[in-house]
Amino acid sequence: MFKRAIIFTSFNGFEKVSRTEKRRLAKIINSRVSITDEYLRAKDTNASLDGQYRAFLFNDESPAMTEFLAKLKAFAESTAGINIDAWEIEESEYNSLPLKQKDFLAAANGKEIFKI
């Protein structure tokens, strides 16, 4: 069975986010981007990271989703100025959503994992 982990990254505007922190966040996100998911690739820019939803596909029998979300959560907790929210949704439910704003709707319908 498959699940989607939906993440939303944003900058809170109260703290300046350094280029190094943006690079670290992009590196964590890109660790899950495959050749078929190039559109999910993050750059270390405000446009690529601030206010962006991304949905990653995982096999729920593998610990990969838990490990990926743990890295994101630890990063968000240790970094001022960056907020990361995460939800999970069954792949079948994700596929039934309308294409327009699919990741936003998946987050709205998904089970919240964390908000930092």
DSSP conformation letters of 49-62: HTTEEEEEEEETTS
Cα separations in angstroms, 93 against 22, 63, 107 = 31, 21, 11
Q: What is the pLDDT along the chain (116 residues), one digit of tens a residue?
A: 899 999 999 998 777 899 999 999 999 999 999 888 898 999 999 999 999 999 999 998 889 999 999 999 999 999 989 999 999 999 999 999 998 888 888 898 888 898 87
82 is a domain residue:
yes
3 is a domain residue:
no
pTM as predicted:
0.90
Contact 13, 82 (CB under 8 A): no
1 is a domain residue:
no
31 is a domain residue:
yes
Q: How many domains does the chain have?
A: 1
70 is a domain residue:
yes
Expressed as residue numbers, the domain containing 76 is 10-115
Distance (Å, whole) CA 30 – CA 9: 13
25 is a domain residue:
yes
5 is a domain residue:
no
